[in-house]
Amino acid sequence: SEMQSEDESKPKLIIVSNRLPITMKRRNDGQYDYTMSSGGLVSALEGALDPRELPFIWVGWPGGEVDPADETQVSTELLHRYGLVPVFLSAELHELYYNGFCNDVLWPLFHYVPLQVVSQDGERKFDYKYWAAYTTANQRFAEAIMSVYRRGDSVWVQDYHLMLLPALLRRKLRHSTRIGFFLHTPFPSSEVYRILPVRREILEGVLAADLIGFHTFDYARHFLSVCTRILGLESSHKGVAFHGHFARVGIFPIGIDPNLFLRTMELALVKARIEELRNRFRGQKILIGVDRLDYIKGVPHKLLAFETLLKKYPEWHEKVVLAQIAVPSRIEVEEYRKLIAYTNELVGRINGRFGSVEYAPIMFINQSIPFEELCALYHVADVAVITSIRDGMNLVSYEYVMCQREKCGVLILSEFAGSAQSLSGAIRVNPWNIEELAAAMHEALTMSDREREMKHWKLYRYVTTHTASYWAQSFVSELQQLRSTQQQQQQP
Ligand code: GDG
């Protein structure tokens, strides 16, 4: 699917995210091959925006280092073929900005995992070279945006990688330019946020936006109270007044594209795969987990609870399996490598203790599986188990629901995932309470048909109405409707 390329004649929306939705490979002959990803944001935007009304282009990092001699060629090809504008970062800058500041400072803190002062190899965790790289990277993004910006365009900045960007852009752009910012992670309570050594700079960076969006009411509330406590600003539930500018704060819960899942479930390939899996697991119940292997996902909590289930309810022995997809991510960051080692150890211990020649209770899959296979697994699973210790939203909870339909499987969902705020049809659990989590697994496995149906339709109704394109559409239309920042000074 190709995005809109630049249309000089009418105002456009400039989407900015750390990563462009594309994978590029340099061939031996020096040419590049590109593969567009069909990821969530792309389809959300394509579903929500009418290119005749509001064309959009996308600015972001292309996913790898590009030889400076090739930059012009790559830029031209990406812009003309896909409407993408690459931000080139050297490998070293990217390492410090992305692995360092984004994923070893902001990510843990926003998920309530406080910063360690030093890492295992004796390096300071909050290092000013990380911060300098974050600032430089954000400046590079601002320059790339300026190279395609035309009068009348609006900008929508995505996520924690780019929190300085609204302020950097505001310095260069007219006051009437609308700038939006959306945070995909939680925004923590002020008691945690205040740990951040550059807490003021980050806040001031975001506050230059006209519209600041969060997934849930709590994240928005935390943000407003942080602005009051740390910057001493006046705020109302509508937003924050800052330097004669009003930054509006809104709640925009993200969703998925339900039709993508419905369509995929109809594919002959998927139906055949479902039959195969049914035969393979005849007489057994299946629990499914799908997580990036990230410490926020609470995978160890899930494994320990599953172990407790097998211990406390011996009737499930050989009758239940846990299929856990856990794709390693961010392995350049030490915490993530420790997590891989620990989860491997747990899986080994549990399979060793409860397994036999015929039976392994846990299938632990450490590679990304194709989308069709994922849908087939979601469908055959009797229960999905989501145990995040913090999670901005969690799309897996929605995806499972869309692949169940008349099967009416049960969703066990951590109360610490943003999606728990809206999915009242789930069994909501505290993942730190391993006994309670094991009991929820047993409850889910033994639930009556009637209760499963009732719960499922509640979930189904929510997921089919609060879609990804609804999310994008609400954010963009609210951004477009905001009057110029000048006029907004009048607001409370
Ligand atoms: C961040 C926030 C927020 C996973 N394994 C495979 C696979 N996946 C897909 C899932 C799902 C996606 O990855 C994961 O999305 P989540 O929302 O669950 O989590 P994060 O990656 O942490 O996303 C999160 C989100 O941003 C959006 O705002 O909800 O809270 O942390 O779509 O299906 N897909 C395939 N194979 C796999 O092995 N094909």
Could you tell which of 160, 290, 324, 423 is best to mutate to test the pocket of ligand 1, judged by most ligand atoms within 8 Å of the CB? 290
**Statement: the pTM of the whole predicted model exceeds 0.80:** yes
Interface predicted TM-score of the whole assembly (ipTM), two decimals: 0.98
Ligand 1 pocket member 292 (CB < 6 A):
yes
Least confident of 70-79, 265-274, 328-337: 328-337
DSSP 322-357: EEEEEEE--TTSHHHHHHHHHHHHHHHHHHHHH--S
DSSP 79-126: HHHH-EEE----HHHHIIIIIIIIIIIIHHHHTT-PPPSB-TTS-BSS
Ligand 1 pocket member 184 (CB < 6 A):
yes
Averaged pLDDT for residues 453-480: 96
Biggest CA pair distance of the chain = 73
pLDDT value at position 1?
42
Reported as a single tens digit per residue, the pLDDT across 412-461 is 999 999 999 999 999 999 999 999 999 999 999 999 999 999 999 999 99
pLDDT value at position 363?
97
CB-based contact 284:316 (threshold 8 Å): no
Give the separation between CA 157 and CA 385, rounded to whole angstroms.
32
Q: How far is the CA of 390 from the centre of ligand 1 (A)?
A: 14
| Residue 489 pLDDT exceeds 60 | no
Q: How far is the CA of 106 from the centre of ligand 1 (A)?
A: 19
Averaged pLDDT for residues 237-261: 95
Find all residues with CB under 8 Å of 305, minimum gap 6, and list them: 387, 431, 434, 437, 438, 441
CB-based contact 6:12 (threshold 8 Å): yes
Ligand 1 pocket member 437 (CB < 6 A):
no
High-pLDDT (> 90) share of the chain, %: 84
Whole-number mean pLDDT of the chain?
93
Reported as a single tens digit per residue, the pLDDT across 353-370 is 999 999 999 999 999 999
Rg (CA), the chain: 23
| Residue 488 pLDDT exceeds 70 | no
Q: What are phi and psi of 9, to 5 degrees?
A: -80, -25
| Residue 316 pLDDT exceeds 80 | yes
Q: What is the 3-state secondary structure (H, E, C) of 244-296?
A: CEEEEEEECCCCCCHHHHHHHHCCHHHHHHHHHHHHHCCCCEEEEEEEEECHH
CB-based contact 222:193 (threshold 8 Å): yes
Q: Which residue in the block uniquely carries the two structure tokens 């990688």?
A: 161
Give the separation between CA 306 and CA 429, rounded to whole angstroms.
14
Reported as a single tens digit per residue, the pLDDT across 181-206 is 999 999 999 999 999 999 999 999 99
Residue with CA closest to ligand 1 atom 20 = 394
CA–CA distance from 242 to each of 156, 207, 452, 491 (Å)? 20, 7, 49, 12
- pLDDT band of 392, cuts 50, 70, 90: very high
Averaged pLDDT for residues 51-59: 90
CB-based contact 211:482 (threshold 8 Å): yes
| Residue 485 pLDDT exceeds 70 | no
pLDDT value at position 492?
44
Give the separation between CA 453 and CA 397, rounded to whole angstroms.
17
